[in-house]
Structure 1
Amino acid sequence: METIVFQSDQIKQAAALLRQGELVAFPTETVYGLGADALLPESVKQVFAVKGRPSDNPLIVHVADFSMTKNFVESYHPLTEKIVKNFWPGPLTLIFSIKSGSLSPVVTGGLSTAAFRMPDNKKTLSLIEETGAPLVGPSANTSGKPSPTTAMHVYHDLKGKIAGILDDGATEIGVESTVLDLSGKIPTILRPGAVTKEKLEEVLGIEVPLDKHLVKESETPKAPGMKYKHYSPDTQVLMIRAGDWEEALEWAEANDKKVGLLATPRIADQYQSADRFVFEDDSIEAATRGLFGGLRALDEANRTDIIFAEVFPEDHLGLAYMNRLKKAAAQKYFTKK
């Protein structure tokens, strides 16, 4: 299969392929999604096949406006209107209880709930409108690997397996959306993202708990990205705490391991390495934006035995960064011997 890279003036062609049941990857402000018409179960099944993704993993349904959710949602949480007004379009996915039979179990993972998001990307909103149906859109990569933040990342993983990719350059945020469960009484974060716990609490005026449960391989997650290990390159990743860099690099040299550094300029400038991916600046925003791209670049260069990655405090956006990094590293930090 030829994989076409579509530009802004080719959205109609991309939508036509989606209506025909083909798969087209699309850009968002977070990562690139692998799109299929959410109302065509056979197309959705192809998403799982192409990604190599477990079919019990529910998919996020992407809509062009809030009204598109009304055909599916059984009832809305009382805070829904306030949340949508403040955070849509944007990097926030909302889980609702849905009407029986309104979405295929292939989309929901067999659950009585479904996840919805209105992405903050004009090209993709136009694509959904032109298709005339909501789109499922898990990250457009091989399952378990670092999520794609450019069209070329998608092309690398899925060339010849999907019909097309709508290109809109590099994504702005770099990690997947926050997932907020609104199917119960208390809004609960199932996956942290750029819409932080602090931002939600400020708008809603209530405490918003974070579900830190890590789903085992045998369990069905309520939202994507809840597995114990995820976003992982083939190369081993170790997290390095602020005071451990010198000892970690000495340990690597003593054990004849070639190290790839994934770090901010303040760290990378102190420790030289043949292979390194340096974030644009020292901010958590730059680190989050560069995390998946850095993991991919160091892994695909195939010149390192191990990737040493910088850690950040687990608050605000740092919570989302560390959530992904911990899973990429299978929860492993370098420990002093």
Structure 2
Amino acid sequence: MTCLVGHATWNEKIGRTMPVLPATDETIARAAGALAAGGLVAFPTETVYGLGADARAANAVAKIFAAKERPQFNPLIVHVPDLETAEGLAEFGAEARALAAAFWPGPLTIVAPKRPDCGIADLVTAGLGTIALRVPAHPIARELLEKARLPIAAPSANRSGRISPTEAGHVAAELGDIPDVILDGGPCERGLESTVVSVVDDTPTLLRLGAVPRREIEAVLGHSIEIASEDAPIASPGQLERHYAPQTPVRLDATQVEPHEALLAFGPEVPEGAATTINLSAKGDLAEAATQLFAALRTLDESGARAIAVMPIPNEGLGEAINDRLRRAAQAR
């Protein structure tokens, strides 16, 4: 497989040796070998770039937590090639199977009761009796799973709490040469993390808003689904109050902007006067905005502005997930 490589010259760009490689059959096989040997591999999915390790190997998984500086009470998502493999790791009821049939492969993560003999390291699940599973759709992720022949635990490939990476260069900027391999597959198509749904009991719960809108999940289930409360126990990535955050302070619902601020705009009518402006979608398209969100935040964070002002974004469809990310990014340190 030869993929579009948006940052194939990243190694030369930063002037030092980095593990960024164009994703080809040869480099994907090399990455699979690194995983089998207990190493770390960054790879693209349709949502964001993930930092992967063999989910069965506690020592390898511990490297993820160390690299990300991630609290160990925050569980990881396990990537698998298909529903059959997922059902070998967790107990799937009728609603979990319905969601898998509708959205796998794709950007939905299902949290289900963990099978006692699943062989997944306890560190992956933070010692819980549940496990978060996803079947990715990205061809590079799928080829990596096929070649590695092991379940891959993979959170986003960035420092904990920081902006998620949607390009290989973002991974290199965040993690340097910590991964053994960074597979470059160009920009991620969706740009928002997977939606996470818990199906542990008789009442499915939305643990994280994401790339699959809530209304699409409700259409499959045939009933409404509630979002987990802010004080609910952590059962999924993305539930920490402060997350996805730039170093620069973020101001939400801005209708005016100051000269010292960078502006994250949305829609055709944009206030003037910002130090720099990026419009997530001039035509007001939420799917386009979701794809651009993290890369835009990263660029504005590096602009030198003293604050990032964010225009209002409709809280519907993918706008729910976009606003969730922005709200968490804006939480005071």
The residue that corresponds to 1:137 in the other structure is 154
The residue that corresponds to 1:204 in the other structure is 221
| Secondary structure of the structure 2 residue equivalent to 1:328 | helix
Q: Equivalents in 2 of 1:143, 1:191: separation in Å?
A: 16
Q: CA deviation at 1:331?
A: 7.6
Tell me, yes or no, if structure 1 residue 19 matches structure 2 residue 21: no
Question: Which range moves more in the overlay, 7-16 or 34-43?
Answer: 7-16
Q: Equivalents in 2 of 1:317, 1:278: separation in Å?
A: 16
Q: Equivalents in 2 of 1:56, 1:108: separation in Å?
A: 8
Q: CA deviation at 1:122?
A: 1.0
Listed as ranges, the matches of 1:25-64 within 5 Å are 25-64=42-81
RMSD: 1.8
The residue that corresponds to 1:65 in the other structure is 82
The residue that corresponds to 2:292 in the other structure is 290
C-alpha deviations, 1:219-241, integer Å up to 9, x for none? x5100000111111110001025
Q: Equivalents in 1 of 2:213, 2:128: separation in Å?
A: 26
C-alpha contact (below 8 Å) 1:96/1:115 kept by paired residues? yes
Q: Equivalents in 1 of 2:159, 2:286: separation in Å?
A: 26
Q: CA deviation at 1:80?
A: 2.3
C-alpha deviations, 1:71-129, integer Å up to 9, x for none? 321x2222222211111011100001012253221100110001000111011111011
Question: Which of these residues, 231, 238, 257, is aligned with residue 244 of structure 2?
Answer: 231
Assess, with a 3 A threshold, how the Cα gap between structure 1 residues 165 and 40 changes in structure 2: closer, same or farther. Answer: same
The residue that corresponds to 1:195 in the other structure is 212
The residue that corresponds to 1:335 in the other structure is none
Question: Which range moves more in the overlay, 196-205 or 144-153?
Answer: 196-205
Assess, with a 3 A threshold, how the Cα gap between structure 1 residues 82 and 101 changes in structure 2: closer, same or farther. Answer: closer
Question: Which of these residues, 93, 97, 111, is aligned with residue 77 of structure 1?
Answer: 93
The residue that corresponds to 1:96 in the other structure is 112
- Tell me the number of residue pairs that the alignment of Structure 1 and Structure 2 aligns: 314
C-alpha contact (below 8 Å) 1:179/1:192 kept by paired residues? yes
C-alpha contact (below 8 Å) 1:178/1:194 kept by paired residues? yes
The residue that corresponds to 1:319 in the other structure is 320
Q: CA deviation at 1:321?
A: 0.5
Tell me, yes or no, if structure 1 residue 105 matches structure 2 residue 118: no
Question: Which range moves more in the overlay, 55-64 or 273-282?
Answer: 273-282
| Secondary structure of the structure 2 residue equivalent to 1:106 | coil
% of aligned pairs identical? 37
Q: Equivalents in 2 of 1:164, 1:235: separation in Å?
A: 29
C-alpha deviations, 1:258-289, integer Å up to 9, x for none? 11011125243x41423222224321112211
User: Letter of the aligned partner of 1:314 in structure 2?
Assistant: N
The residue that corresponds to 1:263 in the other structure is 265
C-alpha deviations, 1:283-337, integer Å up to 9, x for none? 1112211111111111123x110000122222211110011000001189xxxxx
Tell me, yes or no, if structure 1 residue 156 matches structure 2 residue 173: yes
C-alpha contact (below 8 Å) 2:41/2:52 kept by paired residues? yes
Q: Equivalents in 2 of 1:139, 1:122: separation in Å?
A: 17
| Secondary structure of the structure 2 residue equivalent to 1:84 | helix
Q: Equivalents in 1 of 2:177, 2:103: separation in Å?
A: 36
C-alpha deviations, 1:45-68, integer Å up to 9, x for none? 000000110011100000111111
| Secondary structure of the structure 1 residue equivalent to 2:123 | helix
| Secondary structure of the structure 2 residue equivalent to 1:94 | strand
Q: Equivalents in 2 of 1:72, 1:202: separation in Å?
A: 26
C-alpha contact (below 8 Å) 2:207/2:227 kept by paired residues? yes
| Secondary structure of the structure 1 residue equivalent to 2:268 | helix
C-alpha deviations, 1:173-199, integer Å up to 9, x for none? 111110000111111111111212211
Listed as ranges, the matches of 1:303-318 within 5 Å are 303-318=304-319
Q: CA deviation at 1:214?
A: 4.9
Q: Give the TM-score taking structure 2 as reference length.
A: 0.90
**Structure 1 stretches of 5 or more lacking a match?**
333-337
Q: Equivalents in 2 of 1:92, 1:331: separation in Å?
A: 29
C-alpha deviations, 1:243-262, integer Å up to 9, x for none? xx23xx3xx45xxxx11011
User: Letter of the aligned partner of 1:95 in structure 2?
Assistant: V
User: Letter of the aligned partner of 2:135 in structure 1?
Assistant: M
Q: Equivalents in 2 of 1:191, 1:260: separation in Å?
A: 28
C-alpha contact (below 8 Å) 1:231/1:324 kept by paired residues? yes
C-alpha contact (below 8 Å) 1:214/1:228 kept by paired residues? no
Q: CA deviation at 1:2?
A: 4.7
